[in-house]
């Protein structure tokens, strides 16, 4: 398991043989806006660009885990169309008691991940998956990458503060990875020579803040943007789907349009940055097992 606390670096043993590092993909949090990740993945795959290792926060952790398990973007969209992910009323099982730490429990996400990935383990995934969570006990973000409780860590990473209950694991309380690190590219920097970041919450200067809720929403987005700056600086390429201009984090009903926006923006990015296409010609990476522990 890899842990990152602030600037802490991963310590590895030296090897006599040079390690060939692979292509990393970092997926940000963003609630329903994270459906754009699926469209971006579709565009990358169509252009022969397939990452070896994925890192993600919140919705990025959900999409990333499904992709790491071998679920295609087309299959992900079918899961959504089957009403298994996009409806807020299905995603959230409400708990009205006022002393709960959130309005909803984790049953839907836990069940969905275990149903689609029955082995429920990081080690059983087809690709390496790194999940970012916020540790409330230590006030630090962490990366989880091993064990047989994949669905618990995916659920913890996607636990939006105030919406979902804090996820308690071994006496420690966890919430949304995006709370402290919305674009967790840091662990990929240690494992990959090239990183593609997908940030569905790029900074947008406000044009109007007439309602209090507008100020609250914008403030939260700014905090998430600021905590993603370090991760953004580590990415060689950053794709920024523009769904945020029309939709908010709770527009789960707009999944098709958000997906399409991600797909279109990714194709446009590839067109404007043709050098990214050299990634499709790279040999499959051979990662030192020590780095993946």
CB atoms within 10 A of CB 223: 14
Q: How far apart are CA 134 and CA 142, in angstroms?
A: 6
Give strand ranges (E) for 1-127: 22-27, 53-57, 102-104
Catalytic residue (one of 176, 199, 228, 265): 176
Task: Name the 3-class secondary structure at 195.
Answer: strand
Q: Is residue 193 annotated as part of the catalytic site, yes or no?
A: no
Measured CA to CA in angstroms, residue 224 lies from 46, 211, 214, 231 at distances of: 30, 21, 15, 11
Give the helix/strand (H/E) hosting 39: helix 36-46
Catalytic residue (one of 28, 55, 57, 58): 58
Is the alpha carbon torsion for 106, 112, 117, 119 positive or negative?
positive
The backbone torsions φ and ψ at residue 241, rounded to the nearest 5 degrees and listed phi first, read -55, 140
User: Tokens standing for 265?
Assistant: 């923006």
User: Tokens standing for 148?
Assistant: 């047989």
With 0-12 / 13-18 / 19 or more C-beta atoms within 10 angstroms meaning exposed / middle / buried, residue 51 is buried
Distance of CA 262 to the CA centre of its chain: 14
CB atoms within 10 A of CB 202: 18
Q: How far apart are CA 111 and CA 113, in angstroms?
A: 6
Give the helix/strand (H/E) hosting 227: helix 212-227
Q: Is residue 146 annotated as part of the catalytic site, yes or no?
A: no
User: Tokens standing for 38?
Assistant: 């699926």
Distance of CA 53 to the CA centre of its chain: 12
Active-site residue list: 58, 176
């Amino acid at each position: 398991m890899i842990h990152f606390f602030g600037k802490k670096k991963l310590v590895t043993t030296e090897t006599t043989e040079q390690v060939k590092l692979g292509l990393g993909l970092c997926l940000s949090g963003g609630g329903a806006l994270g459906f754009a990740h699926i469209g971006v993945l579709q565009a990358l795959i169509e252009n022969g660009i397939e990452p070896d290792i994925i890192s993600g926060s919140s919705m990025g952790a959900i999409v990333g885990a499904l992709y790491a398990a071998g679920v295609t973007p087309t299959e992900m969209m079918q899961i959504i169309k089957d009403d298994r992910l996009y409806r807020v009323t299905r995603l959230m099982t409400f708990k009205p008691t006022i002393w709960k730490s959130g309005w909803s429990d984790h049953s839907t996400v836990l069940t969905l991940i275990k149903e689609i990935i029955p082995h429920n383990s990081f080690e059983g995934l087809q690709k390496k998956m790194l999940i970012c969570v916020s540790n409330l006990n230590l006030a630090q973000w962490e990366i989880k990458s091993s064990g047989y409780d994949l669905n618990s860590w995916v659920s913890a990473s996607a636990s939006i503060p105030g919406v979902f209950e804090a996820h308690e694991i071994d006496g420690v309380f966890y919430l949304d990875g995006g709370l402290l690190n919305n674009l967790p590219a840091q662990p990929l920097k240690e494992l990959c020579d090239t990183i593609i970041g997908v940030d569905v919450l790029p900074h947008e200067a406000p044009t109007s803040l007439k309602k209090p809720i507008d100020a609250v929403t914008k403030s939260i987005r700014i905090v998430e943007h600021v905590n993603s700056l370090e991760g953004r600086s580590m990415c060689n390429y950053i794709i920024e789907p523009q769904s945020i201009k029309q939709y908010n984090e709770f527009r789960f009903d707009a999944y098709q349009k958000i997906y399409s926006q991600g797909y279109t923006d990714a194709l446009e990015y590839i067109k404007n940055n043709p050098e990214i296409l050299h990634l499709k010609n790279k040999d499959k990476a051979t990662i030192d097992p020590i780095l993946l522990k």
